[in-house]
Structure 1
């Protein structure tokens, strides 16, 4: 997903393996990214492009004229079963494949408005009714939709508008009596009820505030940092020959304090499960719900009623405004390349979008400024090199010609300010020397193939655009006046992303809507670049936590941070979720460093002293067992010993037993599941540590089973036991602890009703 599809990756790696050794050496020892790109791109042959075109042709991202009818009919089936949520998504898919101002799109919008009405989404329903009318909804079908509009307005308390809609509807009946007598009778009866409703509401005094304040208002930084945009004044930017750039506290910071609130410079929605159409057995049209169906492709806002791009079926937005902004900024170029970008992966897509968000001339200026004279990353300011500086931002400040100054911290402007702009993004480290030659070759050829397609499409991008967007399209930068500059900039970004990409996450509920107790999980929604957050170094037990709203990330202190202490972030491997050896392997392979944080050092020492939480215990006295192939009791008075293999085998059997119980729970066979889990609970107590994750999992499943039976007291008791394990494994402030507490709150709530 981040990198190109497997077929293209395999093709390029095979191509690399067949290159003469001399060419491999030339690319491997190239001193600059420019040399890597030029040497690699010269090897891209027409047959490679044909192969890539065939791969990208498997993705259906254009508008298929036959698809709207298919999706509308599938949506109607769900609607008839009262599955209005699923129906809404299917109607949205129909909208995405429809051309503007056609009966197809108007019918899909109208049908979606009906589903939204049943979901209680009255404001959104009204918007869809207006869209249906704007795109030429047939006159013969207007009465039913106008009645729905009046019902929405009455429900929302917008009585003058509701009265006007009712009046318009009565006029429509009188002017065009085309409806069958039975239909007309039903509509008129509903209309009478609505008129009575309006009168009743007009006579009622308002019992609630006309406008409720938002439950969650946007939280802003108390005092913004003068040196670092999007950061609190509680932190400052420092550099170190070994650490590079990092943030430290300028004062004592309390838990929960907001330290950074940054909007992504660039973000790309995770496409989710998008199988190529030849993988679909039943139809070339996919009816499954993906991330791309539920979130705006620009601002990442959750939306049921998406507004599609006029030119492709893939890009969807929460509003016409977001659609137009995306078109102006980057989608006018990306639109015709949607299938290719899905084939080349999210990193390649972000690389392109980053350069499109910067003015093309400035991308070249920054590259010339850095003058990558070697394959090494930009040197740290301690080298005291004097460089020719330019004052740069996306607003287009003028170049300060001829001004020689001491180099500031990389990414800062001439005034020493670190901003959320392309200059800061460009100076994120690509770690060129750490990537394998094969990986650099793959990235370079992928970017080269994309550049060639952009160059080929440059004459068509602005002429083949939909009429509604054509005027805006001409404002996009010229695509390839100097192909190599584009390519090198994008190659740099692709290499940067392995270490600097930030997964933008959201919390999604799991389980069916009928369940009284819902679970939740963190899912990756998009990938973005956050220049300020990228300044934070890693710790396996960080002193901050990160959360996301739309494309904005907020970093808060998760514990007290003393003045002068470093602000630390977790890159993924956390001490509560994996052991030190696994963390080190992951950090080394992705981020190219050996972690020496306090938890790692502490865990290395403790692993030499004795077993951890995932240990076996003595069945005789309950103490933790220690040793190698043969485990012995840790207490002097107990002489019990047992083979490790025997206990591992018991654990595997227990895991299978719990898996069977989980399947029984899913199938509603609660009593049998409980019997199996209670047997497993008794078995686990005889040989597993009380803090073992399997003990917690069994208690969690028992809590679910008793909740499903309505036995809230037993459910709460088992969940509280699970909580103790979760707290021991993940810590009292962990997201895992939050999920468990949320479930416990639901149990207590249901138990009191």
Structure 2
């Protein structure tokens, strides 16, 4: 039975009621559900419909004549209250405008790029002999400017990690909620009331419409493969879904050419020029004029030279076949083979009858004789994904609603393919920031970009999160290139010193320690030295204590957590730099503990110290800095520190707007806090009476 009656979720409640009626909700419980429906309608201001339901319920109660039953008395009392509420609203205007359903719409691109779909006119697609395809600024770009807003060509929800089930008399049923229970499997929208697939126990959707769209596009074939797809993994699932979506574009003959007309050498090197020409020519046949075909200037573009988010662009993403290990290629081929076998088995089963609601496109296309074509396409996609898959992330809150303080963390919600976003090359110090809303990726300039400069994106290894050696190793192993960005060039000469968020300090004078296995104080007049191994051992012990304190915080043992963290703070001051990341963790933990106790002043003091660590590590304009400023603004707001709160809100807005735009949840909350503070009456200042 749906219980949410907030305006933003009332529509969900009504849809849930409709589905319950459609699936045969028990007759004896109908009055309770109809009362809830009437309450929803009153909340929405649809008073005429609500009055009709109330009238029908009154007639129903009179006919049954069972006034002694406790349930009847409760329902009748609720009915009377609801009737009064409806009458009170009769003379009021509608309080829930239809426009509210569009409240979370993101900003659109002001103009369409004539060369690249989903991109701003501020960028241009070019090629470089060393880098390949890249995006270049066509004009000076300001921080926060929207550059790309692209819906994923394909996306698959990550199933989430679940603990294994242990069978036995003492075992308990696992009731932990995973992402698959919270987000729509088609549009990735966070959903209160899921609509499950009629054919499997895994796929769930935000609405009947999303479920039908998923069924028509791909789920009619995926439905019976659910267990196998979960076993083979997300990459295999994306490969199948990409091929299924290709049925709705004119690419069948292209995939056949991929199988039949290229040589064995081309098959092993799918990024070869022959394949690029084959795919480009076939997809551009509709634009041929007078029997003449012009080769697209850039791979992935159509015959008119436009790069579009479609299957042609996906096929032109490089699979890097030469770089993958033989073991990886064998595993990919084995996975695709298993999937094709299962598709063949599904084909041999009874096909849908004419009365079936499944569309004709839902049947495995051309059946078994075309499975080898699908297999080639799926194998190519699997090889592409290691370098081209994009993690779709979201911010999740942890902790119950009763808690004053909750954690927020970025989680990987799904994996998708974004052909336009994939054009951006990597930098360990990028000039863009990426965010997601459902299946849409938004790329904004994070700093000023001059005309002619390349638009750069970070593939994961960032200069503010790891050292140059670790970044180089990760990029080489996953993306098969040696990074030579400006950040790597600058950092190599000073790599031995290490970043400040990992530095040790002198116990005597507080200066930073330098050196290799034996560290010496950097101050000229100080002779203090220490073994690196000894300091690393002390750091590990300290990290273990901080971890224990965080567990105490989660379990509500605040006083013990504070005492332990204060001890950790004292120890850290003796051998860690003030900007060390562990110092930031300690200060953040103390701020959280005091906020939970309602001591907002102490919480703000410790959070400001944590903020300094974040600023040194990530920079004053980083998205991490924006999130920390948001936390500090909340603490000042709750502590009624009005000038400090308004100042911090302004700083947080300035940073977060650059990375997310105005429709971000945190920016919306900051604006509400600012509005609330500005509406407060002025506090009188004068001598005490």
Using the size of structure 1 for normalisation, the TM-score is: 0.79
Residues 444 and 278 from structure 1, CA distance in 2 versus in 1: closer, same or farther, beyond 3 angstroms?
A: farther
Q: Deviations over 1:636-683 (max 9, x none)?
A: 222222222222222222222222322322232322322222222122
Q: Confirm whether residue 449 of structure 1 aligns to residue 338 of structure 2.
A: yes
Residue of structure 2 aligned with 1:720, choices 598, 608, 612: 608
Residues 539 and 517 from structure 1, CA distance in 2 versus in 1: closer, same or farther, beyond 3 angstroms?
A: same
Q: Deviations over 1:19-61 (max 9, x none)?
A: xxxxxxxxxxxxxxxxxxxxxxxxxxxxxxxxxxxxxxxxxxx
Q: Confirm whether residue 371 of structure 1 aligns to residue 262 of structure 2.
A: yes
Shift of 1:685: 1.4
Structure 1 unmatched runs, 5+? 1-110
Query: Is the CA contact 1:518–1:743 (under 8 Å) kept in the aligned structure 2?
Result: no
Partner in structure 2 of residue 57 of structure 1: none
Partner in structure 1 of residue 687 of structure 2: none
Structure 2 unmatched runs, 5+? 642-689
What secondary structure is seen at the aligned counterpart in 1 of 2:628? helix
Partner in structure 2 of residue 749 of structure 1: 637
Shift of 1:272: 0.8
Partner in structure 2 of residue 27 of structure 1: none
Q: State how 1:101-116 maps to structure 2 within 5 Å.
A: 111=1, 113=2, 115-116=3-4
Alpha-carbon distance between aligned partners in 2 of 1:151 and 1:631, rounded to the nearest angstrom? 70
Partner in structure 2 of residue 77 of structure 1: none
Q: Deviations over 1:55-107 (max 9, x none)?
A: xxxxxxxxxxxxxxxxxxxxxxxxxxxxxxxxxxxxxxxxxxxxxxxxxxxxx
Alpha-carbon distance between aligned partners in 2 of 1:353 and 1:281, rounded to the nearest angstrom? 41
Shift of 1:726: 0.7
Residues 503 and 208 from structure 1, CA distance in 2 versus in 1: closer, same or farther, beyond 3 angstroms?
A: closer
Residue of structure 1 aligned with 2:435, choices 537, 544, 547: 547
Q: Deviations over 1:376-423 (max 9, x none)?
A: 342469x9x976853638xx9588896443353111111111110001
Shift of 1:445: 1.2
Alpha-carbon distance between aligned partners in 2 of 1:641 and 1:561, rounded to the nearest angstrom? 45
Residue of structure 2 aligned with 1:433, choices 322, 331, 354: 322
Shift of 1:310: 1.2
Partner in structure 1 of residue 226 of structure 2: 338
Q: State how 1:343-362 maps to structure 2 within 5 Å.
A: 343-359=231-247, 362=251
Alpha-carbon distance between aligned partners in 2 of 1:645 and 1:283, rounded to the nearest angstrom? 44
Alpha-carbon distance between aligned partners in 1 of 2:164 and 2:549, rounded to the nearest angstrom? 35
What secondary structure is seen at the aligned counterpart in 2 of 1:414? coil
Partner in structure 2 of residue 411 of structure 1: 300
Alpha-carbon distance between aligned partners in 2 of 1:744 and 1:736, rounded to the nearest angstrom? 13
Residue of structure 2 aligned with 1:390, choices 265, 281, 295: 281
Q: State how 1:249-264 maps to structure 2 within 5 Å.
A: 249-264=137-152
Residue of structure 2 aligned with 1:631, choices 519, 526, 535: 519
Partner in structure 1 of residue 114 of structure 2: 226
Alpha-carbon distance between aligned partners in 1 of 2:34 and 2:500, rounded to the nearest angstrom? 67
Alpha-carbon distance between aligned partners in 1 of 2:551 and 2:376, rounded to the nearest angstrom? 52
Shift of 1:193: 2.1
Residues 277 and 455 from structure 1, CA distance in 2 versus in 1: closer, same or farther, beyond 3 angstroms?
A: farther
If asked which structure has higher relative contact order (CA below 8 Å, sep 6+), I would say 1
Partner in structure 1 of residue 480 of structure 2: 592
Moved more, 740-749 or 311-320: 740-749
Residue of structure 1 aligned with 2:50, choices 147, 162, 169: 162
Residue of structure 2 aligned with 1:302, choices 173, 177, 190: 190
Alpha-carbon distance between aligned partners in 1 of 2:425 and 2:20, rounded to the nearest angstrom? 51
Moved more, 220-229 or 254-263: 220-229
Alpha-carbon distance between aligned partners in 1 of 2:65 and 2:140, rounded to the nearest angstrom? 75
Alpha-carbon distance between aligned partners in 2 of 1:434 and 1:423, rounded to the nearest angstrom? 23
Residue of structure 2 aligned with 1:696, choices 584, 588, 611: 584
What secondary structure is seen at the aligned counterpart in 1 of 2:244? helix
Shift of 1:198: 1.6
Alpha-carbon distance between aligned partners in 2 of 1:279 and 1:243, rounded to the nearest angstrom? 54
Q: Confirm whether residue 458 of structure 1 aligns to residue 351 of structure 2.
A: no
Alpha-carbon distance between aligned partners in 2 of 1:618 and 1:285, rounded to the nearest angstrom? 53
What secondary structure is seen at the aligned counterpart in 2 of 1:613? helix
What secondary structure is seen at the aligned counterpart in 1 of 2:451? coil
Query: Is the CA contact 1:661–1:673 (under 8 Å) kept in the aligned structure 2?
Result: yes
Query: Is the CA contact 2:122–2:147 (under 8 Å) kept in the aligned structure 1?
Result: yes
Shift of 1:694: 1.0
Residues 590 and 454 from structure 1, CA distance in 2 versus in 1: closer, same or farther, beyond 3 angstroms?
A: same
Using the size of structure 2 for normalisation, the TM-score is: 0.86
Query: Is the CA contact 1:386–1:405 (under 8 Å) kept in the aligned structure 2?
Result: no
Query: Is the CA contact 1:610–1:626 (under 8 Å) kept in the aligned structure 2?
Result: no
Residues 496 and 401 from structure 1, CA distance in 2 versus in 1: closer, same or farther, beyond 3 angstroms?
A: farther
Shift of 1:279: 7.0
Residues 367 and 607 from structure 1, CA distance in 2 versus in 1: closer, same or farther, beyond 3 angstroms?
A: farther
Moved more, 139-148 or 254-263: 139-148
Q: Confirm whether residue 499 of structure 1 aligns to residue 390 of structure 2.
A: no
Q: CA RMSD in A?
A: 2.8
Q: Deviations over 1:133-155 (max 9, x none)?
A: 12222322211211121122223
Alpha-carbon distance between aligned partners in 1 of 2:21 and 2:327, rounded to the nearest angstrom? 55
Partner in structure 1 of residue 673 of structure 2: none
Residues 409 and 203 from structure 1, CA distance in 2 versus in 1: closer, same or farther, beyond 3 angstroms?
A: closer
